[in-house]
Homo-oligomer: A and B are copies of this chain.
Amino acid sequence: MRSVGRLVAFSDGVFAISITLLILEIEPPGHDRSLLHGLLALWPSYLAYAVTFLFIGQVWVNHHVMFDHIRGADRTVLLLNTLLLMVVAFLPFATSVLADALRSGDDERTAVVFYAVAFDVTALTFNAVWQYARRHRLLSEALDPAGATAIGRRFQLALAWLSAGALLGAALPLLGVVVIAAFNGFFWLPIRGEGPRSADYAAGA
């Protein structure tokens, strides 16, 4: 079994690169109309950029929360984490597809569902790492069962929320985007009534 230090450093690298590559998906406007008009017409790109940026930022924070409690990585953890990174690194493409559809107005439903599913699969692989580590007793002994359950529930909530986003987006595209944006809000902002313990664990604060 290997210590998780290098796994976390490598993952941070992929998170930082993915988040920064997002901007490459936005092309400067052409010269067929005024620049101001062109820049304003790119609003779907800015929106998609911001939503994905905040989402990856959140995955980064929660990835640290998760690996603070995992004391070692066996080969399966390495593989599951690589699958998680593979989905995160895919998000700039999904973001580009969404922005493209919102700009053109074509196939918005398909694009929103594609985007939401990409987020949802991120949450799925994230949960897979946690569940595997928990079942195979790779969690730190300093973490009591109640804490482990609280964290696991928070991660499952993310999965449920993003699945709902995909389903609602299939019905009403705009609603899907709102649900995903609200997800960012929920996971970033402090939550009223949340005890300090679970706040520490599940929110990375």
Contact = CB atoms under 8 A, between A and B. Distances in A.
A6 B35 CA distance: 39
Interface string A42-61: 00000001100110010011
Contact of A54 (B29, B36, B86): B86
- Say what secondary structure dominates the interface of chain A: helix
Interface string A165-201: 0000000000000000000000011100000000100
Contacts of A13: 12-13, 16-17, 20
A64 B96 contact: no
A129 interface: no
A15 interface: yes
Interface residues of A, number: 63
Interface stretch (A72-80, A119-127, A144-152): A72-80
A41 interface: no
Nearest to A113: B36
A10 interface: yes
Contact of A39 (B16, B50, B114, B199): B114
Interface of A: 1-2, 6, 9-10, 12-24, 26, 28-29, 31, 34-36, 39, 49-50, 53-54, 57, 60-61, 64, 74-76, 78-79, 82, 85-86, 89-90, 92-93, 96-97, 100-101, 104, 106-107, 110-111, 114, 188-190, 199, 203-205
